[in-house]
């Protein structure tokens, strides 16, 4: 019996014609990925700064040509650049300066904590929202859940960082207020996942797998709630607060 498999495709990102990075990703929701990657990498501060995205598919992958303002492009030129391919499971491949890895982060916005009932509701319905994973049984998902635990938005990818970047990009393009709800991840909660979520303005992460120690220290400094090793029948609160 034939089985459907997930594919990894090189995505070459250029800004104002300058090649910046090549990332391995699932070839869907690429514009969302471009926006999310640009935001979480600090290339732009707002989605609106990206003036256009032109995608070109070829035999060697997909080329994404993004146009950004001169000020943002100047910052990019001054920053450390990625010089190797970003592997599917890597969030920092090719970064030349170790100081670029742990960047100063803002505090997360104030707001009402997510409730345990909402979190458990989201965990109980997550599988039904993972359309691609239902076919291939191996991709990561990143979902945005409202305060009631309803999954409002989800993106999937072979890479966990890519899935989160796609979610962030889709939300920013759609005007989602990431401070109002929580993020649900099918992967482990590593420090770069926390960084991306904080930059997007998220206040809480719920992760299926365990967090790393560094992820928790970064989350605590930013005031982020992290609930992990999350299953339908049990979860562990590592940082922050949730409502009963």
Two tokens, residue 125 = 């319905």
How distant, in Å, are the alpha carbons of 51, 92, 111, 121 from that of 176?
19, 26, 15, 20
145: tokens are 């859940």
For 60, the token pair is: 């060697």
Nearest to 159, CA basis, from 37, 18, 63: 37
- Do 230 and 123 touch, CB atoms closer than 8 A? yes
**Cβ neighbours for 244, distance < 8 A, ≥ 6 positions apart:** 115, 116
d(CA 160, CA 158): 7
236/228 Cα distance (integer angstroms): 5
Which of 90, 145, 183, 189 does the annotation list as catalytic? 90
Number of H helices, E strands in the chain: 7, 11
Q: What is the DSSP letter of 222?
A: H
59 φ, ψ (degrees, to nearest 5): -65, -20
For residue 90, indicate whether it is catalytic. Answer: yes
H or E stretch at 226: strand 225-231
Which positions are annotated as active-site residues?
Answer: 90
């Amino acid at each position: 019996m034939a089985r459907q498999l997930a594919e990894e495709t090189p995505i070459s990102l250029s800004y104002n014609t300058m090649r910046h990075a090549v990332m391995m990703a699932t070839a869907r929701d690429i514009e969302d990925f471009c926006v999310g990657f640009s935001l979480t990498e600090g290339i732009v501060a707002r989605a609106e700064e990206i003036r256009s995205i032109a995608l070109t598919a070829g035999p060697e992958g997909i080329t994404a040509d993004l146009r950004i303002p001169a000020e943002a492009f100047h910052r990019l030129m001054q920053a450390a650049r990625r010089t190797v391919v970003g592997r599917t499971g890597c969030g920092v491949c090719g970064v030349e300066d170790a100081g670029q890895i742990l960047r100063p982060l803002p505090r997360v916005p104030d707001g009402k904590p997510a409730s345990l009932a909402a979190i458990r509701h989201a965990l109980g319905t997550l599988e039904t929202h993972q359309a691609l994973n239902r076919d291939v049984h191996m991709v990561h998902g990143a979902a945005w859940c409202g305060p009631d635990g309803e999954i409002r938005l989800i993106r999937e990818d072979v890479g966990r960082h890519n899935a989160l970047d796609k979610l962030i990009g889709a939300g920013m393009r759609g005007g989602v207020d990431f401070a109002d709800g929580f993020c649900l991840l099918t992967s482990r909660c590593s420090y770069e996942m926390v960084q991306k979520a904080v930059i997007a303005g998220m206040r809480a992460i719920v992760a299926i797998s365990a967090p790393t120690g560094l992820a928790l220290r970064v989350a605590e400094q930013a005031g982020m709630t992290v609930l992990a090793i999350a299953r339908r029948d049990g979860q562990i609160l590592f940082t922050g607060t949730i409502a009963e």
